[in-house]
Chains A and B, each alone.
Chain A
Amino acid sequence: MTVYAILFYILAGLILITTGLAITRRNMVHTVIYLVFSFFGSAMLFYLLGAPLLAALEVIIYAGAIMILFLFIIMMMREESPETRLFVPRQWLPAAAIGLLYLVLGVLLILSADPTTGEPMKLAQATPAAFGEYLFNAHWLTIEIASLLLLVALIGALHLGREGKGGDARKTEETS
């Protein structure tokens, strides 16, 4: 076992433990803090798997922007989490059944997969410059679509975030 394999198993354990802690917390602020740890672990994993640009983006966008957005919304809410019981049996049972089925199927699929996936992977790294050049050469249309999606999300969030109900806002806009 190489040092990279040991690093991978430590990171995998860290990610799984912090995610497991995050989804079982009652206090949502604690959930967000544990998720930041989980996404930092994912970023280090991305670096280990040869994607330094994506590791940086994971820290900046996931652990930075998205989690801070969650914190803002949680702090806007006056009350704590409305749940009196964390796991209601009526919802827990179907989730456990589907999850178990999924787990069995996934293990069977991985065991019966192509034998080349069983061999350890070679270390490689895509430099940010090479990756960016590839992205803008081969996937320029997808980038345009993603930017359009972000614009639509921006307009939608602005519309939803307005004061008052949707119909009233439109009426005042027409009269003014």
Chain B
Amino acid sequence: MIVPYSHILVLSGLLFLMGMVCATTRRNLIMIVVGLEIMLNAASVAFIGAALQWGTLDGQAVAIFIIAVAAAEVSIGLALIVAVYRRTGSVDPAVLENPSA
């Protein structure tokens, strides 16, 4: 016997909240992508807990697709950050507010 499913939901919710706070408050493009990664990981924790709770493998299948999407997202995101850094020499999201820079 492990813990009730609601405890796993609380853990996953707190992790998602931390990722959201990181993505919204940090003024750094890399930290925004890190926040997205934390949020995706929190979602897969909830899915794997659900797979155990209801005894089906669907939750684990969704978690594996979340990992694939996270890999695609991070490669595109970091390529975009490198492109922005080459153009402006900074990773501050404020430089994107002025399109002529």
Q: Which residues of A contact B (CB under 8 A)?
A: 2, 4-5, 8-9, 12, 15-16, 19-20, 22-23, 28, 31-32, 35, 38-39, 42, 45-46, 48-51, 53-54, 57-58, 61-62, 65-66, 69-70, 73-74, 76-77, 79, 81-83, 86-88, 91-92, 94-96, 98-99, 102-103, 106-107, 110, 113, 117-124, 126, 130-131, 134-135, 138-139, 142, 146, 149-150, 152-154, 156-157, 160-161
A to B CB contacts below 8 Å, 16 in the list: A8-B2, A28-B30, A57-B64, A58-B67, A66-B70, A70-B74, A70-B78, A73-B30, A79-B90, A82-B27, A120-B1, A121-B52, A149-B68, A149-B69, A157-B79, A160-B83
Whether the Cβ atoms of A23 and B71 lie closer than 8 Å is: no
Q: Which residues of B contact A (CB under 8 A)?
A: 1-11, 13-15, 17-22, 24-28, 30-31, 33-35, 37-38, 41, 44-45, 48-49, 51-53, 55, 57, 60-61, 63-65, 67-76, 78-83, 85, 90-92
| Also in contact, A150 and B72, with CB within 8 A (given A15-B15, A57-B67, A117-B53) | yes
Q: Give the complex CA separation of A106 and B9 in angstroms.
A: 9
Chain A residues near B11 (CB, 8 Å)?
12, 15-16
A-B pairs, top 7 by smallest CB distance, nearest first, are A153-B72, A23-B22, A160-B79, A157-B79, A95-B24, A120-B1, A82-B92
Whether the Cβ atoms of A154 and B75 lie closer than 8 Å is: yes
Q: Label chain B's interface by main secondary structure.
A: helix
Chain A residues near B37 (CB, 8 Å)?
35, 62, 66
Whether the Cβ atoms of A87 and B71 lie closer than 8 Å is: no
Q: Give the complex CA separation of A46 and B50 in angstroms.
A: 12
